[in-house]
Structure 1
Amino acid sequence: MLNKTSEQQDVAALTVSQLFRSGHYTIPIYQRNYAWGQEEIEQLIQDIWDVARQNRGDNHYFIGSLVVAQRGLDRYETIDGQQRHTTLSILLAVLKHAFDLALPDITNINLHFDCRDKSDATLSSLFEHGCVPGDENVVESTVWRAWKIMVSFIRKMDIDRPAFLRYLLENVVVLRVTVPADTDLNHYFEIMNNRGEQLEKHEILKARLMDKLDSSASELERIAFATVWDACANMQRYVPLSVHHSIRDRWFGHKWNVIPQDFDDLLHASLKVKTPEESRTLHDIIRHPKGSLPEAAISSKTDEEHPGNFGSVITFPNFLLQVLRLMERNTPLDDKRLLDTFTTSDPDPRQFIMRLLKCRMLFDRYIIKRENDDDWSLKALTRYEKSFSYTSTFAPAEKASLRERNIPINQNAIMLLSMFHVSFPAQIYKYWLNGALYWLDKYAEPGQMNINGRDYLNYLENMANHFLLDRITETPGEQLYDFDEMENAPVCFPTHFVETPLHNGTGVQNYIFNRLDYLLWLNLKNKRQFAGVDMQYIEKRLDNFTFTFRTSVEHYSPQHPMNDELPLERSQGLENGVDNFGNLCLISHSNNSKLSNYSPVAKKEHYEKSTHAESLKQVFMMSYDSWGHAAVENILHHKNMMVNVLLYRH
């Protein structure tokens, strides 16, 4: 523990080892339940390992604060930070039991949930025994799900697990802040919940880049820079709609489909109708953060400032890094390092803002989004004489290829892009998006938005195959790709394929299942018939299939059957038993938790009345008349069929 002066006596910097070796922490009933999901959990683990492997010696890595009120000797009530503390508790249990690593001097979990017996019982059982309580009624699903996410993620990582644990225990630090004993906690919570919005990193970055404009830069140039930045920052609207109507046609043309080519093209006297906020210096922003501007700087809200209708697959800070990565290939996609990354890269402000504008306009038209929280969409902003609308990016009659007459390009692109997106929910791993932006940036004609849809699809398919080849041959990942080289290197799958990465149970990578479901959809839409399955059963469920965020690998014939039945045994031809790829599919966590121990017959009955397909591979499995001990030949038939689809064999 760090030494403390009298002024610092209520603040302690604790390593994870120190945090769990002493003290007892209670999560009061008024705190929300544990709620971290896959993205937050995987991000925390990845961040810790990224820092650990940088060989920083004894340097500490601070991961946040734990605000507590002392309730006795070494006893604390947690006010803020319980999500991180709970996640660390589960992580220690995972390392201890799932990976057989010793936790020196940590004998128990020092976290207790007030009046939440399920959370207490689940966390305690995981730490003591490496499993959940036998009674499903006392299992807290969010804690159990976090365990499974961690086990799956760590298995897939290229990681030195003992080194990771050592760094986690001795170098990862939590700042414990103890509030004064006479603190009015109700008032404290009111302050916490109503505190002003802090200045975000991308706003600081905007100010820094504007300050980098040379001394000869005019006020108009600074306003132009800020206007483009702010328009691009609104990820819920198409860029032209986030620009004031007085300059919209001048910048983007009458049809709003022109991409400005030169920074000087942006400069026009109409820009001066914008508010002073858009040309503020870093000094101004620090003195008057957003939400506390001087009265003179506040203007009435215009149509351009209203929220949009679209949900983006990425945040603006991460989009900034995506664009910078096109300029510097080794740029990390970690928005927590946004300011440091831009400081190291030091891009020219004018060049960067023009690249940002171009990529954002291409992103609007050629990358999927959610429209009004509904299904995936791929639409272009279309201008008419006195109005505008959103229309399919690619004409409905335009087919993906002459051989694929049943699939319009727009529909095909939506499925392919959504496959990528749900496979890599964490923003730090969206290398597919960087690959797509690379191609769009390269092939969009100067100043124009038009690209060849078939060429775009062919490129995305090739990138998808490279990603798959990495995962079935366990070669280095897509973050190392040179997209110039990849574009001209079609994938050749091995003739003699070693199937080991497929027969790994819950360790099979999500992308493999998503790629397979996409290829099944593609084959079925093109009217391919599969032998040995009930095609009528399958085709009935095809039209409602769409990609969703599925994170749980289901064993169709269960690992732990109910009613004392035995699981599938390892046998000749089924050496991996229940973990054989033929017995696996990817579904949502909720359905997996609800049905995981049910028999194949019971699972099929549950889905019988539904015409919605969560997994096409699962639909294929359910189309067989029998499954399990008495039908190993069906499992092997299905496995071989799926491998052939995955590797383009017929």
Structure 2
Amino acid sequence: MPNNPDITPLTVAELFNQGHYFIPIYQRNYAWGEPEVRQLLQDILDESRRAKNSRHPASQYYIGSLVVDKRGEGQFETIDGQQRHTTLCVVLSALKNEFADSINQQSCLNVKATEDTPFQKLSSLSLNLSFTNRKRSTSTLALLAQGITTGCEQASMHGAYDVAVRFFEEHKQELCTLTDYLLNNVVILRVAVPKGTDLNHYFEIMNNRGEQLEKHEVLKARLMRPLGIDERKVFSTIWDACASMDRYAQLGFEKSLRCTLFGANWDQHPVDFESIRQEMVNSDSPAPLVSLEEIVQHPVLQDKKENPVNDDSEQYASIISFPNFLLHVLRITHVSHIDTDVPLDDKRLLLAFERFSNRTDEDIATFSREFVMNLLRCRLLFDRYIIKRKNDLDWSLEQLKPNETRHHYVSSGGDFNQQLIMQLSMFHVSFPTQVYKHWLSAVLYYLLKQHQLGEFRISQYPAFLDQLSNKFFYGRFGKQPIEYFDICFEDVMPENDFDHHNLKLGTHIQNFIFNRLDYRLWRKLKDGHEFDVDMDFVKSFLDKFRFTFRTSVEHYFPQHPIAGEPMDESILHSFGNLCLISHSDNSKFSNNDPATKKNQVKDKLNREQLAESLKLVFMMSYEHWDPENQPAMIQHEKMMVDVLCS
């Protein structure tokens, strides 16, 4: 590191032991969600594991910069980096408040006798971040620092706290090592701007600075290098068509090639790389030679607004990024040729491909042709059989079809379309972070195999997704957990032996469990199943139910009721009294009684036409939900567990 007094590398422990930081009003609100928080924590966990397994001393792991304006001795105004700094503050609060005992009990063999333990260092840290003229943000951060999660008005911070708690619960056996690495080896660079800098102008520049070449662009160049000129054009065309994740892949090809490559209905897969090369070469026949005089006398005017490739008026939001999609394709097309799994971490994209791109030119060329064809096949399957976001509330499962004028969209699943959307969105919202979307690898692998064998039937797709749900449920939450790789790619079916301890974790119960239950409730209701509840009330919510990104586990009967008697804790924290809702709803619910919450949900249904949780709807169907009616609550839990495990 250059000897520059304006650039100071700080470990996380040093960051929270030195100085105070103010977030100015011109900065946006804290906005990180579950994907960003989980990704940061996963990166730090991965680095701590590498350090633990290495023979060399643990290296420093840089997580970016914190650009500040020094206002006085130990006083800094943050210009850039507040999202990461705030997240670290919330994460450390979660560790101190929820897991201090676990960290203290675990042995820390890598800590010298003369050093403070991670528990001691964690305990000594103090909150050193506040927001100028944002009382809600400052108040929420202060409450979370004390472990108080009720009354937090800043929903994003509260959400980050919950995400951190669930993440640490999942990796509870590694908390001592993780905390030690986080405090001592994770480093942020504090960069002080020169005195007299126009901060508003500097902030504007920081937020409009250019982007460096992305990893997938570097990878594309590496894989194209040993190919011939014609082959490079084929590779680049396929790659670019697949890279536009919010547009159907066929639209990335010239209009004249679409029916030739994909069939009259645009639903076929090209045979191989060479056949595409031949078609593209033939379509590029040279134009007749024309003299300059003829061009001037008979100009051919072209409408500059017309783009023969990007002619898609519909916009669909993909559930993953292109770099992440590349890793799924690498994973499923080389599953039988790799000795270790491919992590779905796009920051390691180049490293994941290194074993295939660090060979002779001939080997790289062979791999490039094979991979780009698998990329196209998987992308066509992804477009047709994996959900997309069509608007803020709806999921889409549609395929692209040509017509006489342009193109149109029809449902991919026919009579099964609604069921497939529910199944796929259930998986998607249960694992919002891209690095955990193992289910998508399993689905693409199944679709690719079935199409290659010519055995795919849309009527069999829902049954496969139900089976995959069972494999995730019993494979990950059974008494003998199975690795994700084996669940996705090996022909294993775990025993139906659910470990009910997973339902006794209170607000740390995993999202997938709640979402699986909601899907199974939805399916049974659609099939006409009757439950021993107010069925008219339940059915009034059924058609408005959608899977959304819900990350807050809420007590229906509150932990600290505003009025009335408290609930016996064994019932209060039981699965029967819990449901999964959004953080905005959690903030509104607060410590309200069930009757008030019921009216709030009804109001939301009238305003937004959206029901978030069928389990919550079932709880609301009971006339009374209070300490005097505990038998009904116990009966509800038994009913829900039967549906969950049936």
TM range (shorter): 0.7 to 0.9
What's 1:646 paired with? Answer: 644
Q: Which residue, 258, 271, 281 being the options, matches 2:268? A: 258
1:541 counterpart residue number: 541
Amino acid at match of 2:231: E
Q: Which amino acid aligns with 2:568?
A: E
The structure 2 residue matched to 1:51, chosen from 9, 30, 47, is 47
- Name the structure 1 match of 2:475: 470
The residue that corresponds to 2:397 in the other structure is: 378
Cα 1:272–1:96 change in 2 (3 A) is farther
Residue 477 of structure 1 and its aligned partner are, at CA, apart by 5.3
The normalised TM-score by structure 2 is: 0.86
Secondary structure, counterpart of 1:617 in structure 2: helix
CA distance in 2, matches of 1:383, 1:478: 42
2:162 to 143, 148, 168: 148
Match of 1:17 among 10, 13, 19: 13
Q: How far is the alpha carbon of 1:303 from its aligned partner?
A: 4.0
SS of match in other structure, 2:264: coil
State which of 339, 344, 348 in structure 2 corresponds to 1:337: 348
Aligned to 1:601: 595
Cα contact 2:471–2:487 (8 A) shared by 1: no
Per-residue Cα deviation, 1:416-460 (whole angstroms, up to 9, x for no partner):
1110001011011000000000000101047x7x82012222221
Q: CA deviation at 1:471?
A: 4.3
Deviation of the 1:212 alpha carbon: 3.7
Could you say which residue in structure 1 is the equivalent of 2:576?
582
Aligned 1:164-203 pairs, distance under 5 A: 164-203=178-217
Aligned residue runs from structure 1 range 415-430, under 5 A? 415-430=422-437
Find the counterpart in structure 2 of residue 501 from structure 1.
502
Cα distance in 2 for residues equivalent to 1:58 and 1:164: 12
Of 501-510 and 261-270, deviating more is 261-270
Change (3 A) 1:377 1:338: same
Please give the secondary structure, in 2, of the residue aligned with 1:98.
helix
1:321 to 318, 323, 327: 327
Alpha carbons 1:470, 1:477 under 8 Å: kept: yes
Q: Decide whether the 8 Å contact of 2:37 with 2:164 is kept in 1.
A: yes
% of aligned pairs identical? 47
Q: Could you say if the C-alpha distance between residues 15 and 530 of structure 1 is closer, same or farther in structure 2, counting changes exceeding 3 Å?
A: same
Distance in 2 between residues matched to 1:183 and 1:306, nearest whole Å? 45
**Map of 1:207 onto structure 2:** 221
Q: What's 1:354 paired with?
A: 373
Deviations 1:571-627 (A, max 9, x none): xxxxx3211111111111111111131111222233346374211111111111211
The separation in 2 between residues aligned to 1:453 and 1:491, in whole angstroms, is: 25
2 CA distance for matches of 1:538 and 1:521? 10
Cα deviations across residues 545-585 of structure 1 (Å, max 9, x unaligned)? Answer: 1111111111111111113x343114xxxxx3211111111
Q: Which runs of 5+ in 1 are unaligned?
A: 275-298, 396-407, 571-575
RMSD: 2.3
Give the residue type in structure 2 aligned to 1:202.
Answer: H
In the other structure, the counterpart of 2:77 is 77
User: 2:502 and 2:244 mapped to 1: Cα distance?
Assistant: 41
Question: 2:301 matched to which residue of 1?
Answer: none
**1:197: how far off?**
3.3
Q: 1:344 to 1:338 in 2, by over 3 A?
A: same
Residue 186 and residue 539 in structure 1: after superposition, are their counterparts in 2 closer, same or farther (change >3 A)? Answer: closer
Aligned to 2:24: 28
Measured at CA, do residues 106 and 272 of structure 1 come closer, stay the same or move farther in structure 2, by a change above 3 Å?
farther
Residue type at the aligned position of 2:213: L
- Counterpart AA for 2:422: M
1:521 aligns with 2:522: yes
Give the one of 28, 35, 38 matched to 1:39.
35
| DSSP-derived class of the 2:70 partner | strand
SS at match of 2:246: coil
Instruction: Quote the offset at 1:235 in angstroms.
Output: 0.9
2: CA distance, partners of 1:107 / 1:421 = 37
The structural deviation recorded for 1:306 is 5.4
CA contact (8 A) 2:251 2:311 kept: no
CA drift at 1:154: 1.6
Q: Secondary structure at the match of 1:554?
A: strand
**1:287-346, Cα deviation, whole Å (9 max, x unpaired):** xxxxxxxxxxxx977142356511111111100000001133411100111111111343
Do 2:438 and 2:488's aligned partners in 1 also have CA atoms closer than 8 Å? no
Q: Give the drift of 1:210.
A: 0.7
Code of the aligned partner of 1:590: S
In the TM superposition, what whole-angstrom CA distance separates every residue of 1:627-646 from its partner, at most 9, and x where no partner exists?
12111111111111111111
Q: For residue 222 of structure 1, report the CA deviation from its aligned partner.
A: 0.5
* Structure 2 residue 162 is matched with structure 1 residue 114: no
Mapped partners of 1:72, 1:271: distance in 2: 67
SS in 2 for 1:142: helix
Higher relative contact order (CA 8 A, sep 6+): 2
Separation in 1 of the partners of 2:7 and 2:156? 31
User: 1:13 is matched by which residue type in structure 2?
Assistant: P
2: distance between equivalents of 1:618 and 1:174?
A: 42
Secondary structure at the aligned position of 1:541 is classed as helix
Post-superposition Cα deviations, 1:465-497, rounded to whole Å, max 9, x if no partner, equal 0111134326435523253433xx445423xx6
Task: Note the C-alpha offset of 1:524.
Answer: 0.6
Match of 1:98 in 2: 98
Q: Is the 8 A contact 2:58 2:185 kept in 1?
A: yes
Find the partner of 1:302 among 298, 307, 311. 307
Indicate the SS of the match to 1:462. Answer: helix
Query: Partner amino acid for 2:96?
Result: K
2:401 is aligned with what amino acid? T
The separation in 2 between residues aligned to 1:535 and 1:269, in whole angstroms, is 60
Contact 1:14 1:176 in 2 (8 A): yes
Please tell me whether the aligned partners of residues 251 and 310 of structure 2 are also in contact (alpha carbons under 8 angstroms): no
Secondary structure of the structure 1 residue equivalent to 2:38? helix
Q: 1:367 deviation in Å? A: 0.6
State yes or no: 1:364 paired with 2:362.
Answer: no
Compared with structure 1, are the counterparts of its residues 144 and 414 closer, same or farther at alpha carbon in structure 2 (3 Å cutoff)?
closer
Give, in whole Å, the separation in 1 of the partners of 2:485 and 2:207.
Answer: 42
Conserved in 2, the CA contact under 8 Å of 1:90 and 1:126? yes
For the residue of structure 1 that corresponds to 2:561, the secondary structure is coil
CA distance in 1, matches of 2:334, 2:326: 12
Separation (CA, whole Å) in 2 of partners of 1:591 and 1:234: 34
- Decide which moves more: 545-554 or 337-346: 337-346
The one-letter code sitting in structure 2 at the alignment partner of 1:110 is N
Q: What letter matches 1:130 in structure 2?
A: G
The structure-2 alpha-carbon separation of the partners of 1:82 and 1:461, relative to structure 1 and needing over 3 Å to count, comes to same
Q: Write the distance in 2 (CA, Å) between the matches of 1:96 and 1:272.
A: 67
The aligned counterpart of 1:558 is 558
Q: Does the C-alpha gap of structure 1 residues 15 and 417 become closer, same or farther in structure 2, counting only changes over 3 Å?
A: same
The CA distance in 2 between the partners of 1:122 and 1:387, in whole Å, is 52
CA displacement, residues 153-195 of structure 1 (integer Å, 9 cap, x when unaligned): 2213354111111000111011122222243333323322332
Q: Which residue of 2 aligns with 1:241?
A: 251
Match of 1:287 in 2: none
The Cα of 1:208 is off from its aligned counterpart by 1.2
DSSP-derived class of the 1:175 partner: strand
Q: CA deviation at 1:394?
A: 2.6
Moved more, 364-373 or 502-511: 364-373
Q: 1: CA distance between counterparts of 2:158 and 2:324? A: 30
Task: For residues 396-434 of structure 1, give each alpha carbon's deviation from its aligned partner in whole angstroms, at most 9, with x where no partner exists.
Answer: xxxxxxxxxxxx312111111110001011011000000
Aligned-pair CA distance for 1:272: 9.4
Asked if 1:437 corresponds to 2:444, the answer is yes
